[in-house]
Amino acid sequence: MTTSQDGPSSLHLRRDAVRDGWSDDELGRLVRSGELTRLRRGAYVNAVLPPDPAERHRLLVVATLAGLRRDAVVSHQSAAVLHGLPLWDVPLDRVHVTRRPPASNDTGRVLRCHVARLRDDEIGEVDGLRVTSLVRTALDLARSLPHEAAVVTLDAVLRQGRLHRDVLRARLFDLAGAPGSRAAARAVDFADGRSESVGESRSRVVLHRWGVGPSTLQFEVRGEGGLLVARTDFAWEEHGLVGEFDGRVKYGRLLRPGQDPGEAVFEEKRREDAVRDEGLGMTRWVWADLAAGHRLAARVRRAQERSRR
């Protein structure tokens, strides 16, 4: 049986299998035996589906495009997956494509077709597939996703240096009057490449939503002689307070070769003590706190009061 791509999760299309002489009964037996797993109607992968949602979606994109009768350009979150952009709380159950007018919008079980103007310079290619350009993809997400999810992706694009804010702002004029254009402008204006993770991006949105947005990000705490003591995720400089997302439960990433996790925790405790020795207060929060923004905001306000005292 021929495959449309190589690798442990090779994709098999029914149309190719039938052309090669396979029958539906044979394909059914392979599925029942576990040798193949059905990805969608007419598309299968070897063994089990890959655990990574983005990788599964890439396979779904390839399988879905192979069955389209009319050309389309991969767009929105599907384009983001192909471009390797991080997504948070974004459904990947449908493949998103865009067609130029006079096509019609269409939503099915697997396909979501958008109709919009597309300039030639807004179309590129990734792995042989036609896909909206990086800037068009970012702006499509900014105008179609909830604010928090849009900021997560825009922050990452800026942090990686793949796009500049001025480029995004300039291209916003192309969206003037289009559905979601105001939401896109809001997300682009709020985006900040200094946010280094999904958690930091979400934290910033939540903190601003509840009126306790930090004054700066990646704040450098310096001691005597200007020696760098620490760099913190957030700071409220007028309150003498710094903040860290997830309580630095980043120890797995912070471990040096051969270092014990307990040693990393101890070093982090010493780091926090050094920050406090410079007269600064510190507050920390974890993933679960982001689901209750009002409580996180109250914690930050209490920490601000303690720091002032």
Rounded CA-CA distance 132/123 in Å is 5
- CB burial class (10 A; 0-12, 13-18, 19+) of residue 20? exposed
| Average pLDDT of every residue of the chain | 87
How large a percentage of the chain has pLDDT more than 90? 60
- CB burial class (10 A; 0-12, 13-18, 19+) of residue 239? buried
Count of beta carbons in the 10 Å neighbourhood of residue 59: 22
Confidence bin at 108 (pLDDT 50/70/90): confident
**Mean pLDDT to the nearest integer, 92-99:** 95
Rounded CA-CA distance 145/3 in Å is 34
Question: Residue 228: beta bridge partners?
Answer: 222
**Mean pLDDT to the nearest integer, 27-55:** 78
- Residue of higher predicted confidence among 254 and 116: 116
Query: What is the structure's pLDDT at 301?
Result: 97
Confidence bin at 164 (pLDDT 50/70/90): very high
42, two tokens: 């007419």
Query: Look-up: residue for tokens 């948070």?
Result: 88
pTM for this predicted structure:
0.84
Long-range contacts for 223-231 (Cβ within 8 Å, ≥24 apart)? 223/274, 223/277, 223/278, 229/271, 229/274, 229/275, 229/278, 230/271, 230/274, 230/275
Q: Which helix (H) or strand (E) holds 303?
A: helix 293-308
Query: What is the structure's pLDDT at 128?
Result: 93
Question: Residue 46: beta bridge partners?
Answer: 36
Confidence bin at 124 (pLDDT 50/70/90): very high
- Residue of higher predicted confidence among 177 and 240: 240
For 43-75, the pLDDT digits (tens) are: 777 877 788 999 999 999 998 888 888 889 999
Rounded CA-CA distance 143/173 in Å is 13
Let me know: does 173 contact 119? Beta carbons within 8 Å: no
Category of 235 on φ-ψ map: left (φ > 0), alpha (ψ -120 to 50) or beta? beta
- Among 26-35, 166-175, 255-264, 288-297, the minimum mean pLDDT is found in 255-264
Question: Residue 217: beta bridge partners?
Answer: 234
Let me know: does 163 contact 117? Beta carbons within 8 Å: no
Count of all residues that appear for the chain in the document: 309
Calculate the alpha carbon distances from 199 to 139, 153, 265, 283 in Å: 21, 12, 20, 15
Query: What is the structure's pLDDT at 251?
Result: 46
Query: What is the structure's pLDDT at 8?
Result: 47
Confidence bin at 247 (pLDDT 50/70/90): very low
